[in-house]
């Protein structure tokens, strides 16, 4: 990764954060909870994908349609996030596989 790639990545992230800050407060709160959840248990490809910008796109469409954030995702943020990443390998999957692969793990 070159310096230019790092600089470009920072520019993209700052633009992304600016889009989040332009959302109504309730959307911002839910987005931050989703981001926190996805960073903890989300897909391995999160950093290279379009998941977070896609969520902002979805939220911007909801705002434009005059919908509340709860109308879009429901009341369970974790369940909504789990549904988004259901077909992607997650860090939790990798961890579970590493535990299962440890010698003597099946003797417990």
Q: Which residue has the tokens 């709160």?
A: 29
User: Quick one: pLDDT at residue 107?
Assistant: 52
E strand or H helix at 66: none
User: Quick one: pLDDT at residue 94?
Assistant: 81
User: Quick one: pLDDT at residue 9?
Assistant: 82
2 φψ region: left (φ > 0), alpha (ψ -120 to 50), beta (else): beta
73: closest CA among 61, 65, 85, 81? 81
Q: Distance (Å, rounded) from C-alpha 4 to C-alpha 25?
A: 34
Mean pLDDT for 8-19 is 90
């Amino acid at each position: 990764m070159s310096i230019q790639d790092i600089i470009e990545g920072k520019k993209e992230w700052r633009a992304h954060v600016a889009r989040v800050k332009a959302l109504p407060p309730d959307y911002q709160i839910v987005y931050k909870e989703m981001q926190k959840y996805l960073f903890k248990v989300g897909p391995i490809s999160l950093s290279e994908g379009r998941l977070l910008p896609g969520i902002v796109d979805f939220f911007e469409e909801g705002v434009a349609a005059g919908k509340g954030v709860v109308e879009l995702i429901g009341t369970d943020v974790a369940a909504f996030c789990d549904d988004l990443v259901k077909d992607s390998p997650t860090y939790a999957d990798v961890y579970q596989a590493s535990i299962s692969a440890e010698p003597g793990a099946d003797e417990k």
